[in-house]
Amino acid sequence: MGACPICQSPPIEGFSYKAPHVRVIKCSSCGHLYAANPTPGQGMWPTTDTDAECRKHAEHNRRLIRRWLRDRFMFRGVRVFDVGAGIGHVTTVVREGVPQAQICCFEPEPRASSWLKSQGFKVVDSFAGVEPADAILLIEVVEHVDDPVGLLRECKQVLAKGGRVFLTTPCGETPKGYRPMGGYIIPEHIHFFTERSLRLACQRAGFSDISFIGSDVMHPRGEGLNYAISFAKSALRPLRDFMTGRQSLIGYVA
C-alpha cells in the first residue's frame, strides 16, 4: 500500500473500504482517501457521445457562466485554461457567453482532443509554454490523476497574477464522517478528497486556500417533472450539507 499522495504519510493500518470499483485506503494524517492499487491509466475518462453530452450540460453550464461573471472569475477578454476539458461542453458555453474570451484546452484523451480541435479550440498536450491564464478550470479532474498536488502545482505556475482556479471534485468523506457514494461509483475515480485533504493539496501546491461555494450551480435543472424534482433538491441541499457535510467540493482556489 502506497503512501498518501497528498502528504506522503502512511495509510491507516487495517482500514479498507470496498467501493464498487476500487479498494480504498485512508491516510493516517490528512484523512485523504485513495485507491489502494489503481491500474495504469485507470483515471482516464473515456469520450462519450459528444452532442448528447453537450445538450445534457448546456443549461447548468449557462448558469455556471452567469455565476462566474457575477463573481468576476470571468470577464471580457479573460484568458481561460481548461484542464481536462473533455469534449468541451463547458468551454463551448464560455465561448458563447463570455465576450472575447481566449480559451486554451488541455486534454490528454486522444478522441476528446481531436473533437476539441475540430470545434476550433486551441488544444495543448502539456503545460509547457502555456500562456498565463486569468481563469483555470479544474472541473471533476483532480480525482482522476495520479498526482493531484503535482497537477495543482503546474496550474499555479500557469496562473496569472490575480487569477483563480475553479475546482470541483466529489467529496469522499464529510467532516461528520458521512461517506457519500457519488464519487465512488465512477470507475475512473482514484482519489476521494475530504475538505481537509483538498485544502492541504492546494496549500502544498503553493496556493493560499480554497473558498468553497454551494453546489447548486453544478446540477442540471431538467424540464417538466425533472425540473420540479431538481428544484426541490436544490432547496433541500443546503440543509443536507449542514446535517451531513458537503457532498461535492466546489470552490475558487487562489
Q: Does a structural domain hold residue 104?
A: yes
Domain limits for position 237: 46-170+193-253
Dist CA 84 CA 21 (whole Å): 22
Residues 184-210: tens digit of each pLDDT: 999 999 999 999 999 999 999 999 999
Strands 102-106, 79-83: pairing kind:
parallel
pLDDT tens sequence across 10-21: 999 999 999 999
Q: What is the total count of domains within the chain?
A: 1
**Torsion sign, CA atoms 43, 48, 52, 54:** positive
pLDDT-derived band of residue 54, with 50, 70 and 90 as boundaries?
confident
Query: Which domain CATH number covers 51?
Result: 3.40.50.150
Q: Is residue 225 part of a domain?
A: yes
54 neighbors 116 (Cβ within 8 angstroms): no
pTM over 0.85: yes
In a domain, 227, yes or no: yes
Record the cell numbers describing residue 1, joined without a space. 500500500
- What percent of the chain clears pLDDT 70, i.e. is strictly above it? 85
| pLDDT computed for residue 219 by the predictor | 53
Is 38 inside a domain boundary? no
pLDDT level of residue 243 (50, 70, 90 thresholds) = low
CA atoms within 13 Å, Cβ hemisphere of 135: 23
Distance of CA 126 to the CA centre of its chain: 18
Q: Is 236 helix (H, G, I), strand (E, B) or coil?
A: helix
Residue 28 lies in a domain: no
Residue 185 maps to a domain:
no
Q: Above pLDDT 90, what percent of the chain?
A: 72
Query: Does residue 6 sit within a domain?
Result: no
Query: Which residues, including other chains, have CB under 8 Å from residue 46's CB and lie 6 or more apart?
Result: 109, 188
Classify residue 186: in a domain, yes or no: no
